[in-house]
Amino acid sequence: MMGNAKKDITRMAERAGGTAGEGLTPHLEVYDTTLRDGAQAEDVSFSVDDKVRVAQKLDELGVQYIEGGWPGANPKDIEFFRIVKTMPFKHATVVAFGSTRKASNPVQKDPNLQALLAAETDTITLFGKSWGLHVTDALGVTLPKNLEIIGDSIAYLRAKGRHVFYDAEHFFDGYKADPDYALQTLRKAVEAGASRVILCDTNGGTMPWEIREICAAVKREYAVPLGIHAHNDTEMAVANSLVAIEAGIIQVQGTINGIGERCGNANLCSILPNLALKMKRPVLGDRRLTRLREVSGFVAEIANLVPNKHQPYVGDAAFAHKGGVHIHAVQKNPATYEHIIPELVGNRQRMLVSDYTGRSGLLAKAEAYGIKLSKDNAKLQELLAALKDRESQGYQFEGAEGSFELLLRKALGKHKPSFELLGFRVIVEKRQANETPISEATVMVKVGAVVEHTAAVGAGPVNALDHALRKALEKFYPQLTEVKLLDYKVRVLAATQGTAAKVRVLLESGDHKEIWGTVGVSENIMEASWQALADSIEYKLLPRDR
């Protein structure tokens, strides 16, 4: 069988939609499946509008293919394809995804195939079974019947004028169990006219050395361009994708931020810069890689997921430096602790502040805030001591740089408070067992010579306190209406002390220009919340030319 396959290279390539030479092109293709496979991740649910917005962002990034969804699976994806077919895309081709026909259905009457055609995309990705275990146990058909299903499903779509990419589901597991049958499924897809064959590590359990060997073996047998679709169940999806490309695969599939079923898919936010910057195989062109961090954040926001700050290349911590030795070194030469220039992927270098920070770190942070200090400034050592003392009490400034800037300015005598707290009171009342508690906060503050006393209710005690403080201050500082509380976190610092333990409150606030973090620490959660809320407002009111 393998010898015959070599004789058929030219014929198969031509049936796939091009000459043998075209089929062997080394140009890499990026196939994004965030809107289909990524949408299958736990806690992710895209609306139709969400999907349209993400597709536009992916097109701006420059990916070649966007898998929009499975129109045979749900009405939402049908609506998505109805909308996007009227939209101009500059770089990307939108692809519909679905399965081969059911064994009991002829192609003309198979609902899934008809839904794929109704999506009206030029290209369709069709998945079928490559592993005998799935054929007999999942589909419940014979091995020859599965080959028939693959062949006539692809041939039918090709006859309707569609380009077909064939996803060989569970291919690597199938190949390891029965290489001859797994290759037969590919042969059937190629003979039927598939223009791409994608080798899928659907269970995510294959190791890189296995990927390399199997991809090379398949490439020797078939001239049709091959793709790789890797899942991350062993934390190998990115490595497996890159190894497959080394072996001659030309299409790499993945998702933004690696979201997807179970442990996720191959992460394009790692694959794309690795290809461009490490393997010298750029795939986006025109400096679009610099938009990668923006796209990563956009997809996380739309998916309502907390961004992974430790994510390589695009995470907040990817080029963040905390240790004094590290900070001192990167100030002399960033290459000492940074493997690339952060701006190449749209990221930035950050200097963190903590009890590990030395003089170099504090000087760098002060300069970032527009404050010039000399190395022998007496205030520098005082500030360093104050920082270490605060962190020993439980304060953490790595995620609360708004509070740190205020601490720095206060220590240097460069900050004048915008208001003074005279007192606050918070009441939580629950009148009946089946009713929601009522939270009310009263705040008394002084602005200049004016004392303001206000009250407000909220969804909880902290929310009520926030409302009361804003109500008291907005008449003096109308710009506070722009501020939104984006995140609120509480951490118990010494759990062994039970309800008497200190807590640390971290707030994330933002306006239309920036996002900042503030922190408060106390045995009383309301006092810790007040500290963080007050810092958030003080930070917003800092002079913009600071």
* Catalytic annotation, residues: 326
Cβ(506)–Cβ(485) below 8 Å: no
Cβ(363)–Cβ(335) below 8 Å: no
Q: What is the DSSP string of 119-168?
A: TT-SEEEEEEE-SHHHIIIII---HHHHHHHHHHHHHHHHHTT-EEEEEE
Amino acid at 469: L
User: CA quadruple 508, 511, 512, 513: dihedral positive or negative?
Assistant: negative
Beta-carbon contacts of 362 under 8 Å, excluding residues fewer than 6 positions away, are 353, 373, 380, 383, 384, 387, 408
- Which residues face 30 on adjacent strands? 252
**Residue tagged 């954040």 (tokens):** 297
DSSP, collapsed to helix, strand or coil, labels residue 249 as coil
Cβ(357)–Cβ(321) below 8 Å: no
Amino acid at 249: I
Q: What is the DSSP string of 354-372?
A: STT--HHHHHHHHHHTT--
Type and span of the H or E element at 515: strand 515-522
Q: How many helices (H) and strands (E) does the chain have?
A: 20, 16
Distance CA(489)–CA(506), nearest Å, equals 5
How many CB atoms are closer than 10 A to CB 445? 22
